[in-house]
Chains A and B, each alone.
Chain A
């Protein structure tokens, strides 16, 4: 149980275009979803936290107009990188936690490798 999927796994886009990444909880209802980015050989950097039906809470230094997060249902959250630039190239990972006795546990998706050319 507790499976989280991401799509796409890899994406290459041109500078100035927008890219949408989907994160789905497949076998549980995710009341909260988190988005991270990770640079090579570094740990996870939290970008934002979203609760279903509410606006996302962004970490300091993360531009909310550039990284649009939508958590419209209990199984789906999306991250849209708008007007992407080469410095946005990174590994983006989502995670989800649900309700109930295991609500403190957080399960991660497989990640999306974004390359902006």
Chain B
């Protein structure tokens, strides 16, 4: 079945550092890909998405590009802030698939 693998955390960074969280997927057909973020004590919020190959999703300084050739959707941000401390989830939705399949989540802590 469809699945998502993302890099394990936790990840600890200093403010203004570069952040990359790797995500690869296994799916039949052409899934849609998502990054969700969960701030402490809150539910999940959509951060960005891409629905077809070579699409780039971006939001709040975060970017991820749908790479079909490497089945990847890595999340990047050039300069993180303390407020970016959260758990980040990569997810996919396959065609004819009534669910989102999530990766294990990566906890990111940004220190001032």
Q: Do chains A and B interact in one complex?
A: no
Which of A's residues lie within 8 Å of B, judged by CB? none
